[in-house]
Each structure stands twice: as C-alpha cells, then as structure tokens.
Structure 1
Amino acid sequence: MNPDIKKIIAVSAAIFILLVAYYGSYLPMRKSTVFIETMRSSSMIKTISDFESAFSVPLDYPSQIGQEELVRSMANTINGSLQNVSDPRAVSELVNYAEKYYAPLIARGRGMSFGQDVYILGMINEIAFLKTKEPKYLQAAEKYFKMGQTLGPKRPQTLYGLLDVYRMSGNIDAFKKIADQVLSQWPDDARTSNLVNQMLNSSSSESK
C-alpha cells in the first residue's frame, strides 16, 4: 500500500477515535459533572429565575447522552419544590420549565424509564392543580397518567394517579372503574375502599 495512503488512514483513524472519545465520553462526563455541581449548590437558589438559569446549564450542555436521566432528576426536584410554592405564576413557570425539557423525550415516546417520566409529569401537574385549582393542570395530569396506563396497565403509581384525578374532577364513573381495578389487584386496600364509599355517598347526597 502507498505510504501516503497509510498515513491518511492512520490520521483519519486517530481523528475518529478522538471524536468518539470526545462526544462519547468527555462531553457526557462533563455534562454529569456540571449537573452534580448544580445540585450541590441548589441551596443558593432563591428564585425561579435562579433555578432556570442554574439547571439550564447542564441540561443545555452539548451532549444528549444521559439527558433523560438529568431531565428526570430536574423534574423530581421541581416535584418537591412545588410543595412549597403557592404563587400561581411561579407554579406555572416551574411546570412549563419541566415540560419544556421533557417535550422531546415525550415526543420520542420511548426510553429506559419512559413510564416513570410520564408519571412524574402527571404528578407535577396534579400538584400544580392542588396549588392553583386551574383545570388545565388536572387535564394534563390525566393525560400523562393515561399514557402511563397504556405502558403499564397494572402499574400502581399510574392507577392511583388516575384515581386521584377522577376523585378531584368528580368523574364518578371513571373513578369507579379505576377503583374496581385497584381493588381487584389489591383487595385489602382500605384507603381506596374508603374513597369509593365517600364518592358514592357524596353522589347519593347530591342526587337527593
């Protein structure tokens, strides 16, 4: 083989190996490191703007490897933070921020923990509804829980999520259907049995 061709092949191979190492190892590792640093300094975050600025750095880092895991961690942080937020505008900003980064993952419709992803979004919207009483959040929660139900029809997290949604929306028929499924899978679930009795008694009282 021509020596010049050998050199070209060798150089090309070296460049390829460097690119693989850079995009496949260095960038993902750096992305994770930045995210960990963000989590460690989260006690310094005081405002929604601070939160978005801090978490956008690792989430926007130029590597998609590990993105789903980092988005999930961010969403879990929002899930916990919403418990202490009462301002409807702040609630909206946090929900929108989570859904912004989840959007491409949800559109893809798959992933190692896709069922967990849609459940987290359902919970975020359910909490947002409890904080604001805005129906759009309850509707979004139902949408995500239904997606989770499609992925795993017997998954308890999804079933209990839908149970809460239908209880809060007053959809007795849908509530009863999910409750029947829950009790068929877990007959000793006293909480669900009590909720069914409460819903039926409430419905009977209203119809009189």
Structure 2
Amino acid sequence: MQEAIKKTSYCLIIIGMTVLTYQGSFRTLVKGRKYIETIGRANSIKTVQQFEENLRDVLDYPAPVSDDEIVKFIGGDVINLVAKPGQSEEIGRELIRFVESYSDQKDVLHILNLGRAYHYLWVNHKNPEDYKSAEKYYEKILVIAPKLPPVLYGMIDLYRVAGDREKTKEYAEKTLMYWPKDARLIDILKKIKNGQPLL
C-alpha cells in the first residue's frame, strides 16, 4: 500500500512539473516568438486596425509568465509611435487606448508607459485631456513608488512644458533631494528663481 502511494505521488509530481514547464517555459517561448514575428510584420502595417490585429495575436495568446513583459514591450512601441513627429492625434490616441486595455493598472511599468504615452500625445497635440491622463498616471505611480526617477522627471517635464512654474519647482525640489548634484534640476530651479523661460 505504501509503495502504491509513493508511485502515485511521484507520478503526480512528474505530471505537475510537466504542466508547469509547459505553462512557464514553452508558452512563454511561443509568445516571445509571436512578438518577434509581429515586429517583422510592422513595416507592412498601414492602419491602426492592422496594428491592433497584428498585436492581438500575441496579446491574446495565453502565457501567464510572459504576459506582463510583452505588454511592457508593446507599451514602449506605442510610446515611440506616439512620440513620432507628425503622428496623427487620433491614431496616437487609438494606439494608447489599445495598449491601455491590456495594461495591468497595478504594474508600475505598465502605468509608466501609459503616462509617458499620454505625455507625448499632449506635447505633440496639446489636448488638455491627454495632459490630465499623463498627470493621473504619473501621480498613480508616485503613490506606489515615490522615488522612481522616470516618474519624477516625467512630472517635471510635463509641468515645465505646460508652463506651470510652481509645480515644476515643487517636483524639481523634491527630486533634487534624492539627486542633489543633478545639473539639469539645478538649472531649472535657477531659471524659476530668476524668472527666466523654462523652454
């Protein structure tokens, strides 16, 4: 009886390890390959719909271990597209909304990508809603990670470009506490003190 229980336990362990390997490694490998294939097809894409269809193949493929990473990569791709000079505001907004629908609202890098994407969209097109969205996402991250440099510098840049000298000063001083030798921050604060333009 004891021997039968041992054999059953070993079989269950082997089956469990096989399932974990399949879920954790094989599916992740397949998803990674799918992402690389989508990059290869990127030059032939002409519409937002084609862009979304191309990426859905990757994003909808179930691979729990790599889901977050793929969304981060795609978020970075969307930032690059939105930041591109001359990019249509409508296309930029559609791309952001697409990646937003796959983003984990508790993952700092997902939220950062969304904040940066809206930030660039606002810089290029000056829609106040995009400014609010960028600010909202940055503030959300600051609650989770108050010292994260890309967020602090993102807030400074957002407020600097908007001409909000008080907020720029507030975040530049806060950031300078963590990096007291940052020449760029020192220069921004000096310009604010002397009443000089920030752009």
Q: Where on the TM-score scale, by shorter chain, does this alignment land: which range?
A: 0.7 to 0.9
CA–CA distance in 1 between the matches of 2:16 and 2:54?
Answer: 33
TM-score between the two structures when normalised by the length of structure 1: 0.77
Q: 166, 169, 179: which one pairs with 1:186?
A: 179
Structure 2 unaligned spans of 5+: none
Which segment drifts farther, 118-127 or 70-79? 118-127
Looking at structure 2, the residues matched to 47 and 69 of structure 1 have their Cα atoms a distance apart, in angstroms, of 25
Match of 1:45 in 2: 45
Pair 1:26-2:19 in alignment: no
Q: Residue 162 of structure 1: CA displacement?
A: 0.8
| Matched pairs, number | 195
List per-residue Cα deviations over 1:36-90 (Å, max 9, x = no partner). 2112332222322221111110101123221000000001111111122531111
State the match for 1:80 in structure 2: 80
Tell me the TM-score normalized by structure 2.
Answer: 0.80
Provide the C-alpha distance between the structure 2 equivalents of 1:169 and 1:130, rounded to a whole number of angstroms: 9
Amino acid at match of 1:157: P
Amino acid at match of 1:159: L
Maintained 8 Å contact 2:169/2:189: yes
Instruction: Map 1:1-208 to 2 at 5 A.
Output: 19-84=19-84, 85-102=86-103, 105-106=104-105, 109=106, 114-199=107-192, 201=195
The structural deviation recorded for 1:191 is 2.5
Contact 1:23–1:63 (Cα < 8 Å) also in 2: yes
Report the secondary structure of 1:41's partner residue. Answer: helix
Q: Identity across aligned pairs (percent)?
A: 27
- Residue deviations 1:102-158, cap 9 Å, x none? 1xx11xx2xxxx333322221111001012211111111112222222233222211
Deviates more, 1:138-147 or 1:53-62: 138-147
- What is the rounded CA distance, in whole Å, between the counterparts of 1:11 and 1:156 in structure 2? 49
Which sections of structure 1, spanning at least 5 residues, go unmatched? 204-208
- Contact persistence 1:125–1:138 (CA under 8 A): yes
From the superposition, tell whether residues 24 and 171 of structure 1 become closer, same or farther in structure 2 (CA, over 3 Å).
Answer: same
